[in-house]
Amino acid sequence: MNFEDFARIHGLIINNVVMNRSIRVPTEDKPKKTNGSYKFLGDVGFVMNFATMDKPAVWFAQGINAIKEKPKNDINKLWNALTDIENNVKKDKASSKAGWIMKQTKLDTHPYLTSKGFPNETGNVWMKDGEPLLVIPMSIDRRLVGCQLIQSNGDKKFLYGQTTKNAVFTFDAKGMPFFCEGYATALSVRQVLKASNIKYCIYVCFSASNMKLIAGSIKGGLVIADNDTNGIGEKTAINIGKRYWMSDTIGQDFNDFHILNGDFKASQELKKALYGL
């Protein structure tokens, strides 16, 4: 049986086989979507139908025992190919779960927002096992890929297997870009900019490493760095190469500074960073 027939048995629709890459394709049950994935390495291939399969199926050109005759680097190729498809499965499941979670949420206040100085702020709140979780949707090119779940005590986690690299949440008022790690920091930045009548597009990047990727792909703007005890926030801001603001106090982020000093002083700090005053 050739690879195309093997893929067809599992419901994949492949017009032209592409070598050595994970490729998304339509399936017979969902012909208008790319609900299937394959990777073809010549004498071995992997196929996955996300609607009907929990793990990839493996095809061998010379039968199942061919795997025993392969040199070590070929075995590594096979493992990497299988890992690629399994990761795609996890990412698709996380994306679907995020969509399901978002449908269960309602706009409400949340203890975490109160603790960060925003008692009247509403967010997407999901009640899970009696615990209200603040849900921050995460997107790449406006496509939902996962979410951050924040507990009342501030503990945070992402969905298992989801994509976090290049994923963001944005407050977009069609203005200058601002880049920060956390959601609470973004709320403080938004409030201060509103008070100063400054238009903004605030990117919540969820980590310093991801902020470097996001800020590096967008022209201009201001980085809002956390003054981490390990120095990662400042190091990241310097590596990004844009203007940045960071508190003088170790362990403090912009939300902490805003709570302690109020809108006016916080706005003056951002203006200094923005305009070099």
Q: 34-43 pLDDT, tens per residue?
A: 888 999 988 8
Cβ(59)–Cβ(44) below 8 Å: yes
Q: Average model confidence (pLDDT) for the chain?
A: 90
Residues of the chain above pLDDT 70, percent: 91
Residue 218 DSSP SS3? coil
pLDDT score of 231: 92
Indicate the fold that domain 168-275 takes in CATH.
Answer: Rossmann fold (3.40.50)
Cα 144 to Cα 159: distance, rounded to the nearest angstrom:
12
How confident is the model over 53-108, as pLDDT tens digits?
A: 877 888 988 754 444 455 556 656 666 766 777 777 778 888 989 999 999 999 99
Closest CA to 256 of 76, 123, 158, 116: 116
How confident is the model over 166-188, as pLDDT tens digits?
A: 999 999 999 999 999 999 999 99
Cα 253 to Cα 227: distance, rounded to the nearest angstrom:
6
Residues of the chain above pLDDT 90, percent: 69
Task: Identify residue 118 by its one-letter amino acid code.
Answer: F
Cα 192 to Cα 202: distance, rounded to the nearest angstrom:
12
Judged against a pLDDT cut of 80, whether residue 158 lies above it is answered with yes
Domain with CATH 3.40.50 in the chain: 168-275
DSSP state of 163: -
pLDDT score of 33: 84
Give ∠ CA 102-129-181 in degrees, rounded to 5.
50
Cα 167 to Cα 211: distance, rounded to the nearest angstrom:
10
